[in-house]
Amino acid sequence: MTQSNRTVFITGASSGIGAATALAFAADGARLLLAARRIDKLTAIAEQASKLGAAAVHSIQLDVRNAEAVAAEIAALPAEWQAIDVLVNNAGLSRGLNKLYEGQLSDWEEMIDTNIKGLLYVTRAVVPGMVSRNSGHVINIGSTAGHLAYANGAVYCGTKAAVHFINDGLRDDLLGTAVRVTSVDPGMVETDFSLVRFHGDSERAEKVYKGLTPLTPEDVAETIVWAASRPAHVNIARVMMTSVHQANSLLFHRE
């Protein structure tokens, strides 16, 4: 299935996996609806997407944690952007790496509000239109952390476990429609993920990737576009992907 002229809505599209996914869909001729909090970075990605071949690009500044803003922004989309064919729920983050009993409540709130509630708010606003058109595809970005918890990451792992089951529950709820639901669950990907986790401590963030080759955002983006490009009767339920230096969320090989 070609993505030419299909409308693809990507949250967290200003950097990392979201930005790479926008550019990958652009190269396939998609119409891109891009959302992120950082409008300046989002504008730069939109310009790149247009140069790569996107049929059209529409950007909105959006914090998925704000339920009212999500509902209002999606309801207010211009008519030509209302029919969303593919939703990529990518907005997410990790904050802190602490023992659960020593964690910061503000870190927990940000992860829960973004990774779980934000995904739910966007899904709730977009999927009814897909059901009414009997067409669409929801792609949720999970993690290997949603399959196997690791020390000092209990809350982040918990949010990604929630994505795992929300994804599967949504697929159950959509049975009988032509709307597809997929979870793409990557392991370590070299993005700003660790920089955000460590609140801007670049030295600590760089050590995360030392001695191994992680996935790139482009690796994950390619998989997302592949899942969206299957024939309409094919639903890729879940893809769990890592580099060859990672077995799961606990086991790594470092040179």
How far is residue 234's CA from residue 166's CA, in Å, rounded to a whole number? 20
Sign of CA dihedral 223, 229, 231, 235: positive
Choose the catalytic residue: 101, 150, 156, 209: 156
The CA-based angle 39-45-50, given to 5 degrees, is 125
Residue 218 half-sphere exposure toward CB, CA atoms < 13 A: 3
Instruction: Render 124-188 in DSSP notation, one character per residue.
Output: HHHHHHHHHHT-EEEEEE--GGGTS--TT-HHHHHHHHHHHHHHHHHHHHTBTBSEEEEEEEE--
156 labelled catalytic: yes
Buried/exposed 18-45: b ≥16 CB within 10 Å, e otherwise: bbbbbbbbbebebbbbbbbbeeeebbeb
How far is residue 97's CA from residue 120's CA, in Å, rounded to a whole number? 25
Catalytic amino acids? 156
